[in-house]
Amino acid sequence: MKTYNKTVLTIVLIFVVYTLIFTGYIYYSFSNFAFEDFYKRLELRAGTIATMKLGEPAESLKVKETYENFLENLPNQKYYILPVQNNRIADKIPAEIPFKVISNTLKSTSFNHNKADQFYTGLIYKDAQKNEYVVVVSAENYFYSHHIIYLRNLLITSLLFSLFLIFVISHFVLRTLIRPVKSIIKEVNKIGSENLHLRLEVSAIKHKDPISELKYTFNDMLNRIETSFETQKNFISNASHELNTPLTSIIGEADLILSKERSIPEYEKALTNILLEAEKLEEKTKALLFLARTGYTENTQRFDKVRVDEILMEVQQNLLKVNKNLKIKMDFSLLPESPEKLKIKGNQQLLHLAISNIISNACKYSDNNEVYLALGATEQSVVIVVKDNGIGIPESEMPYIFDPYFRASNTFNYEGYGIGLPLSRNIIKMHNGELLIKSVEKIGTTVQIILPTGNYQL
Amino acid sequence: MNAVKKVLIPTDFNVKSLNVLLEFLRRNPADQFEVTLAHGYDMSYSISDLLFYSEYKLLKKIQSEEFRESCKLIENTYQSRLTKIKFGILTGSTKRYVKNYLEANKIDCIVCSNDYKMKFKSKNSFNLLPYLKASKVALINIESTQNVVSELEHSEQLADVLLSGIEQ
């Protein structure tokens, strides 16, 4: 939990720095205010006292009245009037006045200074006879000596208190934030390669907060992993089985024929059998190789302008050449009027292979019953529909139909390797198309091939 | 060239309902048409719904992607004979409203199929046919276009339209 502590510390640190700056600023500006305000009051008093003591009698009387009526004495207030001669103090300077105050006042006509709680203001006064005096007023700054200390103590205690509060709050907030993550970790730890079907618990309503989104993302990832895991498992077992069957019969045949001396026709027969099995094996490995190639190398194929209706006609003719009993019904009633809509960007051979795979599947699994074929073009794509009234695909097996070597449970009467459909899908994917399959068991299957139009202009 | 005929077809916005249009176009190979696919939809009386009513949004809600694609497909197929496929939403369920709508849009004839069972996605939708029958506009009935697709009832796929031409 090192990151946890780190986060708590970072949050606390940020808050402490923030509050320190804040309280420091308050303290500084307040004491500054206390100084400035007090000096102003002292200056006012120095001015009035000087006028009172040294000014014209009429004026001094007026000022004295105001002073006594409206200005109360500050705590520890004292004043000194010192005559100046030749820029020097004529009399002896009283010991309680710091020398600095006198000398600086002489230099700059007015000066403020403080020594602990005692504040001094000196100013130069010229009376009617042009005599110069230095008037110094001193008093104790009660606000500074008492209130500011109180303020300081208050700020420090509140700082300490907020520190404690921040620590506790950040701890709690983090704990509540981390709890769902911890529960996710706990749940995820339960999922291993032997129980990949487990999922994280999610609420039925899809929330938008990051934690539940994380859960959904995780579940999605698990779905993908599970499917590829299953595919992998199925593929290996099926592939080895498929390759093994012809090999076993080859070995068996050879073993049998070599067990004793035989006549030439017998050898010939055995060798023909072996050749047949070997050819089957070769066919399978070839298909496998093709599947691998279409699955991984997308950029090696050259794409040209291809007309889908031409491919369909070719496929139909080729299939009829192989088997005359096939009934393929074409519906071109919905062909678009402009042939440009039927041109797509693709590879003729590959598309031919994919479509003929799908159509021959349709023929095969409907026992050479009628297979319907239709073609149309929408705004963005060309749609080919292949429909048969065959055995269909059980609903529970629909997710696996694109897995190599997978064969539906109701296909044991039909020959096949389970390579055709994944191969077709790979090819259609290469063309940025879509392959949609809808099927009801024992009723039939509808396959939709959607290929994007090439947008060729006339 | 003949004048473009304006045709109204009541629909539930299912791909299958387009078969009526297809069948009609096949039977009248010489004429040009402007087609309005009309859908009855009861408006809610909530003031905010009425205020923010948008036909585009409503259509998007009650039409499927497949349906729009299918319409495009038909438009492509009969490019020279279909000047336009429009969607109309009729929000009133009175005879007078429907009559006014037909008059305002200068509809020449109504094409429908008595056998087709409307299947609505939204419970606010209603069948326009009784109101249309009450109007004085010519009504053309296309008999059941039973075909191969009927086994997979309303599969909501383009296949519904694509395979309609077979077995006729």
B148/A331 Cβ within 8 A: no
DSSP state, B142? P
Residue B157 has pLDDT above 70, yes or no: no
Query: Which CATH number fits the domain that encloses residue A437?
Result: 3.30.565.10
Q: How far is B136 from chain A (nearest CA, A)?
A: 33
A338/B165 Cβ within 8 A: no
Separation CA A402–CA A435 (nearest Å): 10
CA A18 to chain CA centroid, Å, is: 29
Within this chain, do residues A224 and A317 fall inside the same structural domain, yes or no?
A: no
Residue A157 domain-assigned (yes or no)? no
Looking at the partner chain, which of B26, B148, B152 has a beta carbon nearest the beta carbon of A440? B152
Chain B contacts of A438, Cβ < 8 Å?
152, 155, 157, 159
B148/A387 Cβ within 8 A: yes
Separation CA A331–CA A455 (nearest Å): 24
Within this chain, do residues A289 and A401 fall inside the same structural domain, yes or no?
A: no
pLDDT given at position A234: 67
Looking at the partner chain, which of A331, A337, A379 has a beta carbon nearest the beta carbon of B162? A331
Query: Which CATH number fits the domain that encloses residue A141?
Result: 3.30.450
For residue B141, the cross-strand partners are: B112
Pair type for strands B33-41 and B82-90: parallel
Within this chain, do residues A241 and A351 fall inside the same structural domain, yes or no?
A: no
pLDDT given at position A8: 83
**Residue of chain A whose Cα is closest to the Cα of B160:** A385
Residue A180 domain-assigned (yes or no)? no
Looking at the partner chain, which of B22, B79, B165 has a beta carbon nearest the beta carbon of A336? B79
Q: Are B15 and B157 in contact (CB under 8 A)?
A: yes
Residues in Cβ contact with B82 at an 8 Å cutoff, skipping those fewer than 6 apart: B25, B32, B33, B34, B35, B74, B75
B78/A374 Cβ within 8 A: no
| Terminal alpha carbon distance of chain B | 29
Choosing from A247, A264, A296, the residue where a domain stops is A296
Annotate A285-302 with DSSP letters as a single string: HHHHHHHHHHHH--SSS-
Structural tokens at position A145: 């000596």
Annotate A402-416 with DSSP letters as a single string: TSTT---TT-TTS--
Choosing from A248, A264, A296, the residue where a domain stops is A296
Looking at the partner chain, which of A335, A378, A443 has a beta carbon nearest the beta carbon of B72? A378
Structural tokens at position A44: 């006012």
Residue type, A50: A
Could you give the domains of chain B? Answer: 5-165 (3.40.50.620)
Q: How far is B40 from chain A (nearest CA, A)?
A: 26
A336/B148 Cβ within 8 A: no
Q: How far is B92 from chain A (nearest CA, A)?
A: 32
Pair type for strands A370-377 and A343-346: unpaired
Alpha helices in A191-307 (DSSP H): 210-258, 264-296
Looking at the partner chain, which of A372, A383, A440 has a beta carbon nearest the beta carbon of B148? A372
- Contacts A–B by Cβ distance under 8 A: 86
pLDDT band at B166 (very low <50, low <70, confident <90, very high): very low
pLDDT band at B153 (very low <50, low <70, confident <90, very high): very low
B76/A341 Cβ within 8 A: yes
Within this chain, do residues A408 and A336 fall inside the same structural domain, yes or no?
A: yes
DSSP state, A143? I
Looking at the partner chain, which of B77, B80, B155 has a beta carbon nearest the beta carbon of A334? B77
A336/B161 Cβ within 8 A: no
Q: Is A59 helix (H, G, I), strand (E, B) or coil?
A: helix
Beta strands in chain B (DSSP E): 5-10, 33-41, 82-90, 109-112, 125-126, 138-141
Chain B contacts of A374, Cβ < 8 Å?
159, 162-163, 165-166
Pick the residue with more confidence: B150 or A221?
A221
Chain A contacts of B74, Cβ < 8 Å?
334
Within this chain, do residues A100 and A126 fall inside the same structural domain, yes or no?
A: yes
Residues in Cβ contact with A152 at an 8 Å cutoff, skipping those fewer than 6 apart: A27
Residue A91 domain-assigned (yes or no)? yes
Q: How far is B93 from chain A (nearest CA, A)?
A: 34
Query: Which CATH number fits the domain that encloses residue A222?
Result: 1.10.287.130
A383/B162 Cβ within 8 A: yes
Looking at the partner chain, which of A372, A375, A448 has a beta carbon nearest the beta carbon of B166? A372
pLDDT tens figures, B7-45: 999 988 888 888 888 888 888 888 889 999 999 888 878
Residue A159 domain-assigned (yes or no)? no
Looking at the partner chain, which of B70, B72, B79 has a beta carbon nearest the beta carbon of A337? B79
Taking CA atoms, A96 is separated from A107, A117, A118, A137, in Å, by 20, 13, 10, 12
Residues of chain A with pLDDT under 50: none
Q: Are A123 and A39 in contact (CB under 8 A)?
A: no
A338/B76 Cβ within 8 A: yes
Of the candidates A439, A403, A408, the one whose C-alpha atom is nearest the C-alpha of residue A421 is: A403
ipTM of the complex: 0.70
Within this chain, do residues A143 and A255 fall inside the same structural domain, yes or no?
A: no
Within this chain, do residues A271 and A336 fall inside the same structural domain, yes or no?
A: no
Structural tokens at position A136: 């110094």
Of the candidates B94, B108, B137, the one whose C-alpha atom is nearest the C-alpha of residue B35 is: B108
Q: How far is A171 from chain B (nearest CA, A)?
A: 46
**Residue of chain A whose Cα is closest to the Cα of B71:** A378
Within this chain, do residues A262 and A310 fall inside the same structural domain, yes or no?
A: no
> Which H helix or E strand runs over A355?
helix A348-365
Residue A425 domain-assigned (yes or no)? yes
Residue A362 domain-assigned (yes or no)? yes
Chain A contacts of B166, Cβ < 8 Å?
329, 331, 372, 374
**Residue of chain A whose Cα is closest to the Cα of B76:** A336
Mutate to test the interface with B, among A383, A447, A449, A453 (most CBs of B within 10 A): A383
Within this chain, do residues A285 and A309 fall inside the same structural domain, yes or no?
A: no
Chain B contacts of A371, Cβ < 8 Å?
none
Residues in Cβ contact with A54 at an 8 Å cutoff, skipping those fewer than 6 apart: A60, A81, A125, A127, A133
Q: Which residues of A touch B (CB under 8 A)?
A: 329, 331, 333-338, 341, 372, 374-379, 381, 383, 385, 387, 389, 436, 438, 440, 443-444, 446, 448
A378/B76 Cβ within 8 A: yes
Q: Are B115 and B141 in contact (CB under 8 A)?
A: no
Residue A81 domain-assigned (yes or no)? yes
Within this chain, do residues A357 and A283 fall inside the same structural domain, yes or no?
A: no
The total of other beta-carbon atoms located within 10 Å of residue A157's CB is 10
Residue A193 domain-assigned (yes or no)? no
Q: How far is A340 from chain B (nearest CA, A)?
A: 11
For residue A382, the cross-strand partners are: A377, A451
Within this chain, do residues A376 and A246 fall inside the same structural domain, yes or no?
A: no
| Terminal alpha carbon distance of chain A | 68
Within this chain, do residues A141 and A14 fall inside the same structural domain, yes or no?
A: yes
Choosing from A244, A265, A296, the residue where a domain stops is A296
Taking CA atoms, A446 is separated from A361, A436, B106, in Å, by 12, 8, 40
Number of domains in chain A: 3
pLDDT given at position B165: 47
Separation CA B144–CA B114 (nearest Å): 8
Chain B contacts of A448, Cβ < 8 Å?
157-159
**Residue of chain A whose Cα is closest to the Cα of B168:** A331
Domain extent for A77: 2-150
Looking at the partner chain, which of B76, B159, B166 has a beta carbon nearest the beta carbon of A377? B76
DSSP state, A117? T
- State chain B's mean pLDDT as an integer: 80
